[in-house]
Amino acid sequence: MRHIKDHKTGYLFDPWGPMGPKRRNLLEHSWAGVFREYLFNELPVEKIAKRLHPSWGRPSKELYAVLGTLVLQQLHNLSDREVVSTLAFDTRWHYALDITGGSDGETTMAERTLREYRKMVMDEKLDGYLFETLTDTLMKAFEVDTSKQRLDSTHVRSNMRRLGRIGLFAATIRKFLVNLKRRHRKVFDAHIPEELASRYLKKEGGCFSQVKPSEARKTLHKVSDDLFSLIETFRSHHEVCRLNSFHLMERLLKEQCTISDGNDGDTKVTVKPPKEVPADSLQNPSDPDATYDGYKGQGYQVQLMETFRPDEHPDRTKPNLITHVEVQPAHESDTEALIPALQKTQHRGCAPGELEADASYGSDENVQAAAALGVEVIAPVLGKKASKVGLERFCFRKHGGVRACPLGHKPYENKRTKTGRFVARFSLKHCQDCPLLAQCPVHCGTQGAYLRYTAKQVRLAHRRAFEETDVFRDRYRWRAGIEGTGSHLKSDTGVDRLRVRGMPAVRFCVTLKALGLNILRATSARNARMRAASALAHGILSKFIAFFWPRDCFRTVSRTMSEPFVQFGLSKSICQRLAA
């Protein structure tokens, strides 16, 4: 049965009134004040409520408190056991979640209950909806300017062990044998030799825990033969074939080995060289969704896009917020992440007008597609110039033909081939005598000197020329700030090494941790607003007193009594300056 409290109607008596003013002030200036004021009532409880009957069954936990607990758990990087303890005793959590009573029903939650509701949120894919809804609320509340944003990716790891190839084979086989023994004990006893079982199920670290380098090749061939033998043994057993661990063995064999017929007619299993193993191959049987990146290693990658203000002294009252977060397998290229990010933010109404990213995002196709969406991409071009005199030094017509070379010579002919390439023919005499011929992309032939190019090459050449200007350097230097965001996300919310495995769980944790970082940034901005408002109020009040109260009288009172400091809410330093 659904249990949803009305948190939008105010209280007749403030339940936090008995709290002292200093403690209340600390609450208001913490993340709890931001969460309670801006986000708590925006939690999409109706998405979870539809899975619960409105009147039948035992009452559920209060749904606002449940969703808020899931967000705060990722914000503070707490385990389920730590969440249960914190929810029971931490006043900040009670204030943020509007828990006004002290009963066990309000302040306690079992670990199993927490897991069940987390599974509901993952099944409904509410993590992305939570991030987008609450982030949009913060952007509106703090009037965040989204016209300038920056994009980058960072690497994260799930809760899995980093395995070598021998360890990967051994762990996959061990996982299958454990599942087979647990679910089909009779089949296990009938088909698995004792020697094979003891080799892989040995508890004292296993026989592959300390393999000498000189024996690594021999051991690798041994475990690959065992893998192939197990697959062939149970291929016709329908119940065993349905095991997930059996499918992992088949995947591992396909990705890591080559099957061929030997000279004697037997099947030969050959382990592939490391370069031939695909990047999306199995890295650990405990997390089949994790893949491999040659630069960053095993795990996942996270695409982050955030707002920024190009100002040496930015306004602290307006935070930089993450507007887009997407979890991908580690092997996927950053090139494919730019346009989906722009489309999603455009759908929410927070798309940038200018986006800064590194060279991996700045392909010509991405720049053209982003321009069609009304976004200017500021990113370097991958690769180097083909020649010192580039196409940017030639003059071109609107349709793409060459108007003149760098020295002002006009071509005799401009044409476009069926493949879309442009060809400009210059005078052979002029080009042979040109001092720039050795550095020029023009090639001399028998009938003339030819310049062959595409429209894409011209665009890239002009972009490379723009990279050499001070204007580009001044605009692009702000991209480096996204590196600090990735670092803060890892250090402040613990996204570097997660407690979960699998793409759905990793996506849930990373997305809500990004939301948690936005909450922390909004808290800093809110505190800056409070300090600015307090300073303004003190300044106005001090001028008012100085104008209406004679200086001599104020000097006498301020030197002899301490009461005015409290009565007028002025600090002692302000009163001393007025009395001077």
Look at residue 11 in the predicted model and tell me its pLDDT: 82
pTM of the model: 0.86
Question: Long-range contacts: 365-370, Cβ < 8 Å, 24+?
Answer: 366/335, 366/338, 366/339, 367/459, 367/463, 368/459, 369/338, 369/339, 370/338, 370/339, 370/342
Average pLDDT of 133-139?
95
Residue 496 resides in a domain: no
Band (578; pLDDT cuts 50, 70, 90): very low
Check whether 565 has a pLDDT greater than 60: no
Among 46-55, 367-376, 479-488, 557-566, name the one with the lowest average pLDDT: 557-566
Distance of CA 139 to the CA centre of its chain: 18
Band (563; pLDDT cuts 50, 70, 90): very low
d(CA 266, CA 263): 7
Domain identity same for 9 and 119: yes
Q: Of 472, 492, 518, which marks where a domain is finished?
A: 472
Band (545; pLDDT cuts 50, 70, 90): low
Q: Which residues pair with 259 in a beta bridge?
A: 269
Among 175-189, 275-289, 433-447, name the one with the lowest average pLDDT: 433-447
Look at residue 547 in the predicted model and tell me its pLDDT: 60
Domain identity same for 232 and 176: yes
Domain identity same for 85 and 12: yes
Domain identity same for 102 and 34: yes
Closest residue by Cα to residue 506 from 331, 341, 287, 312: 287
Residue 203 resides in a domain: yes
Look at residue 490 in the predicted model and tell me its pLDDT: 92
Q: Of 101, 124, 147, which marks where a domain is finished?
A: 124
Region at 569 (left for phi over 0; alpha for psi -120 to 50; beta for the rest): left
Q: Of 455, 472, 489, which marks where a domain is finished?
A: 472
Determine the 3-state secondary structure of 248 from DSSP: helix
Q: Are 159 and 501 in contact (CB under 8 A)?
A: yes
Residue 2 resides in a domain: yes
Average pLDDT of 172-199?
92
Look at residue 474 in the predicted model and tell me its pLDDT: 93
Query: Residue 453 belongs to what domain range?
Result: 391-472
Considering its fold, how many domains does the chain have in total?
4
Domain identity same for 110 and 172: no
Domain identity same for 173 and 270: yes
Domain identity same for 115 and 176: no
Band (501; pLDDT cuts 50, 70, 90): very high
Check whether 102 has a pLDDT greater than 80: yes
Provide the mean pLDDT of the chain.
87
Band (560; pLDDT cuts 50, 70, 90): very low
Q: Tens digits of per-residue pLDDT, 424-454?
A: 888 888 888 888 888 888 888 878 888 888 8
Residue 51 resides in a domain: yes
For residue 566, count CB atoms less than 10 angstroms from its CB and return exposed for 0-12, middle for 13-18, buried for 19 or more: exposed
Average pLDDT of 199-225?
77
Residue 385 resides in a domain: no
Residue 85 resides in a domain: yes
Between strands 322-329 and 297-307, the pairing is antiparallel
d(CA 123, CA 119): 6
Domain identity same for 70 and 21: yes
Among 50-59, 155-164, 192-201, 206-215, name the one with the lowest average pLDDT: 206-215
Domain identity same for 258 and 186: yes
Average pLDDT of 128-149?
95
Average pLDDT of 542-557?
57
Domain identity same for 113 and 3: yes
Domain identity same for 558 and 458: no
Residue 417 CB neighbours (<10 A): 10
Band (57; pLDDT cuts 50, 70, 90): confident
- Name the H helices within 78-125: 80-89, 91-96, 104-107, 111-123
Q: What spatial distance separates the first Cα and last Cα of the chain, rounded to whole Å? A: 68
Q: Apex CA 26: angle with CA 23 and CA 29, to 5°? A: 155
Band (566; pLDDT cuts 50, 70, 90): very low
Q: Are 432 and 501 in contact (CB under 8 A)?
A: no
Average pLDDT of 345-371?
94
Dihedral, CA atoms, 140, 145, 147, 150, nearest 10 degrees?
A: -100
Look at residue 550 in the predicted model and tell me its pLDDT: 56
Look at residue 295 in the predicted model and tell me its pLDDT: 84
Band (553; pLDDT cuts 50, 70, 90): low
Band (247; pLDDT cuts 50, 70, 90): very high
Domain identity same for 170 and 70: no
Q: Are 220 and 166 in contact (CB under 8 A)?
A: yes
Of residues 468 and 339, which shows the higher confidence score?
339
Residue 6 resides in a domain: yes
Q: Tens digits of per-residue pLDDT, 380-412?
A: 998 777 667 788 888 888 788 888 888 888 888
Residue 316 resides in a domain: no
- Dihedral (CA of 58, 63, 67, 69) sign: negative
Band (315; pLDDT cuts 50, 70, 90): confident
Average pLDDT of 101-130?
92
